[in-house]
Amino acid sequence: MNRATLIQDWTQSEVLLTFSRHREVKYRVYRDGERHFQEICELDDTPVHTLELPDGMKLDRSSYEVLLRYVLMDVVAA
C-alpha cells in the first residue's frame, strides 16, 4: 500500500456467520488510483481476502460490514 490512500483504518468486527458461529476479523478500506479495496485480516494479521469494492459502495461506510459478512460467508468458506 505504498501510494494508496487510507479511507478507513483497521476496524475490528465480530461477524455472525450462522446462528451459532461467528468470526472475529479486522478490515480496512483504501483507494489505489481509481480503485477502492477492502482488505480483511484475522486479528493476528493473517490475510483473509482483499476485495475490490463495486462503484456504488466505494464510500458508503455502512456497506463495508455487509461486504465483510458476504466475503466471510461466501468467498472464504467456499
Residue 10 pLDDT grade (very low, low, confident, very high; cuts 50, 70, 90) = very high
C-beta separation of 38 from 51 below 8 A: yes
DSSP three-state, residue 28: strand
Q: 60 exposed, middle or buried (CB, 10 Å; 0-12, 13-18, 19+)?
A: exposed
The model's pTM is 0.80
Q: How far is CA 29 from the centre of its chain?
A: 7
The sign of the dihedral angle between the CA atoms of 57, 6, 13, 53 is positive
Asked if 11 and 25 touch (Cβ cutoff 8 Å), the reply is no
Report the pLDDT value the prediction gives residue 63, as an integer from 0 to 100.
77
> Which pLDDT band, with edges at 50, 70 and 90, does 77 fall under?
low
pLDDT tens, 34-75?
899 999 999 999 999 998 988 776 666 777 887 888 888 776
